[in-house]
Amino acid sequence: MKNFKYITFLLFSIVAFTLGSCKKETTEPTPPTDPFADLTYIGETQAVGAGAIVKIYAEEALFVGYNRIYVALYDSANPQTQLTDAHVTFNPMMDMGMMQHSCPFENPSTTVETNTKAFKGSVVFIMPTTATGSWMLNVKVHNHANGEHGMASLAINVVEKSEPKLITFISDFDNKKLFVTLIEPTEPKVGINNITFGIYEKQSMMDFPAVDGYMMEMEPEMPSMGHGSPNNVNPVSKGNGLYTGAVNFTMTGYWKINLDFKTINGDTIKLDQFFDVTFQ
């Protein structure tokens, strides 16, 4: 009889537990969120002549390295109306008094992003804002709504990250000045990480085209323990100066990603370059 009670109790507990865990999942309507909530607001200005307000967003405060830039256009006459039919081009400029130079960049595509309805491009800043040099992000807008052209110039601040995302060297092969930026992973984790680099060359003070077709050899290393990691995939050229591969981190902490650059024929461009990646 006692056993019967126990069994009954046990059955009840199981039933109660099962019912408890079968609670229906209610799907509440999600309130509309600001599409720019995840982005960092950089600044805004008028594109004089195009009848547009230019608002600039980025994924984080602008830094030396590869920055994704979002350009949102609004009608000057009716600032609530976002303009989605336009052509936007960049011309970032560093003014150092005696001289000026630009940096590598990729103009936004002609169509807007679905979520933000902004034009997305990228700029690789090659030096930080300093006391003697300041960056200006020039954005040329061709507003298809009214057919007008205009230019917006926004003074911006570019910082150097504590862990640099850009390295610069002279090619041993052809003496070109090259810029290599670590684009991904932005949030490194233990496990497999997609890794993306951008390679650009300096042809003139104003011209920094992307370089494709190089070979990269990558070897991650944990300097304080002297070990690497298995199953990494060397980045390969994907066009537009981008190189993608995979890097494995076996644990959290400070990693050094060692890189060798070679031409397609195996001639050495530069050896023993590296990026530091620290995460917890």
Residues that bind another protein (CB under 8 A): 189-192, 222-231, 248-254, 278-280
How near is the Cβ of 189 to another protein at its closest, in Å? 6
Chain centroid to Cα 274, Å, comes to 19
52: its two tokens:
């547009």
- For residue 133, what are the contacts with CB-CB under 8 A and spacing of at least 6? 94, 95, 96, 97, 127
Of 151 and 222, the one with the shorter C-beta distance to another protein is: 222
How near is the Cβ of 23 to another protein at its closest, in Å? 22
By the 8 A CB rule, do 75 and 60 touch? no
How near is the Cβ of 225 to another protein at its closest, in Å? 5
- Greatest alpha-carbon pair distance for the chain in Å reads 99
How near is the Cβ of 191 to another protein at its closest, in Å? 3
Of 51 and 220, the one with the shorter C-beta distance to another protein is: 220
Of 75 and 184, the one with the shorter C-beta distance to another protein is: 184
- Classify residue 104 as left (phi > 0), alpha (psi -120 to 50) or beta: beta
Phi and psi dihedrals of 207, rounded to 5? -130, 115
How near is the Cβ of 166 to another protein at its closest, in Å? 20
Q: For residue 212, what are the CA distances in angstroms to 237, 243, 248, 258?
A: 6, 8, 24, 20
How near is the Cβ of 270 to another protein at its closest, in Å? 24
Cα(243)–Cα(240) distance, integer angstroms: 9
Of 124 and 218, the one with the shorter C-beta distance to another protein is: 218
Cα(112)–Cα(109) distance, integer angstroms: 7
Of 46 and 248, the one with the shorter C-beta distance to another protein is: 248
Of 3 and 78, the one with the shorter C-beta distance to another protein is: 3
